[in-house]
A and B are shown apart, each in its own frame.
Chain A
Amino acid sequence: MNIVICGVGGQGILKAGELISICAMLSDFDVKKSEVHGMAQRGGSVITFVRFSHKVYSPTVPVGEGDILLSFEMLEALRYLKYLKKEGIGISSNIRIKPAGSSYPENIERDLQKRGFVIVDCKSIKDMRFLNTYITGFISPLLPFEENMWLSSIEKVFTKSIEENKNMFLKGRRDGDSLYWRRAFNRRYRKHKRYLSGKEIDRLR
Chain B
Amino acid sequence: MPGPAAILLLAVGAAAAARPTDLTGFYAYTAEDVIEYVDSPEGTVRVHYSVEGPNQVKALDADDDGIPDLAQDTALEAELVLQAYADAGFRLPLSEEDMGLEPLGGSNALDFYLVDFDGTGDGQFGTDRCSGGVCSGYMMMENDFKGYGYPDLGEAVRTLSSHELFHGVQYAYAVDQPGWVAEGTATWAEYLYDPDSYDFRAWCGRVLEEPERALDRPPSGAFTGWEYGTALWFGFMDQALGTESLVALQEALAELGGDQDIDALAAVIADAGTDIETLFAAYASWNLAVGDRAGVAESYDFAADLTEVAIAKEGDSVVDDERIYPLATLYVRLDHAGGPLYWATADDPTGLSWAVHPVADGGADGPVADAVATGSFDGPGRVELADLDAGGVFVVVSHPLFAENSIAIDYCLGDADVASECVAEDDGDGAADTGGEEKGGCSSAGRTSGSLWLGLLALVGLGRRRR
**Does B associate with A?**
no
